[in-house]
Amino acid sequence: MNNGNFFKHKDSYKYDGELSALIWKIFNFPRYRLITLPTPLEKTSNISKDLGIRLYIKRDDVMELALGGNKVRKLEFILADALAKGCDTLITRGAFHSNHARLTAAAARKAGLDMYLVLTPPGSPDLQGNILLNKLLGAKMVHVKDHTEADKVMQELADKLKAQGKKPYIIPAGGASPHGVLGYIYASLEIMQQLYTIEEKPRYIVLATGTGTTQAGLLLGLKLLGVDYVEVVGICVSMSSDETRNRVYKLIQDTINLLNIDMKINYSDIIVYGDYLFGGYGEVTSEVVNSMKYAALKEGLILDPVYTAKAMYGLIDLVKRKYIEKGSTVVFLHTGGTPIPFQLSKIIEKYL
């Protein structure tokens, strides 16, 4: 990393010592290692041919901790922060099918911490998918009716634990904190390095965007590298495009403050599409299941109906709408969600 050529791309490259120092700062930020990096970068042949693009899949669903997913990268930095503050108990919230909740439980176990998961409905009472894994991980699950109540319950739990002499650490839903963003700043360096090694120059990185943490990290990371030719395209899976853009912007500002760096991301650089929600967060329609089938039949690739299948639908549609240029190199970030098809099998079955 002390050699400026590492991340350089032949025809578009800005290097100066200051950027290099910032990147070094990210590498040296306290990180509790949960997995082996890098995750694989997979080339697709059938989808590439079908869509007329060069499609790579960044396999962040392939990680050794509890079936993996994007939350693991965020948790590496969040956990390091919690441990540095001497905390002994993690508290977080999420939907009934939350990957973040499951991975927080697993990460907590690995680090020897206790954990509480505050979960919101709707959800099937079946002991399946993430709920099954939470049980297996011995997570203390509290079920509440909505987000507002969940935030209140997390605070009450923290107060109660403090009164008992414990040191709780509240992680926002989805790991949406500046420390969480660091996980994907790191990932953006990794992705660019992998592509550089195989002499590919990406034009787009497409991903499912929920809280916006992952997208904020990728945007900031590319900016730190001086890469200005990649569009990070977020496909909204939970909020409207305006709300999502605001969240991404806010997370970027908070992270810039945490790193204490002089950097600016324009609001207009945050590209999000809100056209692929299919009824909203966690809703499954025939289009969503068809997208799962498409990936499975073309590449043997398993997507989940809450996040990655909607993102893949968006990617395909954006190629059809000519927003994504034919012939361009596209990276699809597979953010995980492996247990969700099992948890939502009854709904998926309707459209199979």
Total site size for ligand PLP, rule CB under 6 A = 20
Which residues on neighbouring strands pair with residue 41, listed in sequence order? 58
Phi, psi of 158 (to 5 degrees): -60, -45
Instruction: Say whether residue 130 binds ligand PLP (CB under 6 A).
Output: no
* Candidate list 209, 241, 255, 343; residue touching ligand PLP; CB under 6 A: 209
Q: What is the DSSP letter of 267?
A: G
Minimum CB distance to ligand PLP, residue 6 (Å): 26
Minimum CB distance to ligand PLP, residue 276 (Å): 13
Buried b (16+ CB within 10 A) or exposed e, 311-322: bbbbbbbbbeee
Nearer to ligand PLP (CB atom), residue 104 or residue 215: 215
Instruction: Say whether residue 319 binds ligand PLP (CB under 6 A).
Output: no
Instruction: Say whether residue 212 binds ligand PLP (CB under 6 A).
Output: yes
Catalytic member of 20, 48, 98, 240: 98
Instruction: Say whether residue 174 binds ligand PLP (CB under 6 A).
Output: yes
Nearer to ligand PLP (CB atom), residue 120 or residue 308: 308
Nearer to ligand PLP (CB atom), residue 55 or residue 103: 103
Q: DSSP for 39-57?
A: PPEEE-SHHHHHHTSEEEE
Please state the separation of Cα 76 from the chain's center in Å. Answer: 13
Instruction: Say whether residue 307 binds ligand PLP (CB under 6 A).
Output: yes
98 in catalytic set: yes
The answer to whether 294 and 316 have CB atoms below 8 angstroms apart is yes
Minimum CB distance to ligand PLP, residue 111 (Å): 20
Q: What is the DSSP letter of 38?
A: P
Q: What whole-number distance in Å separates Cα of residue 276 and Cα of residue 44?
A: 23
Minimum CB distance to ligand PLP, residue 68 (Å): 10
Nearest to 189 by CA among 162, 145, 222, 156: 222
Which residues are annotated as catalytic? 98
Binding residues vs ligand PLP (CB under 6 A): 69-71, 99-100, 174, 208-215, 304, 307-308, 335-337
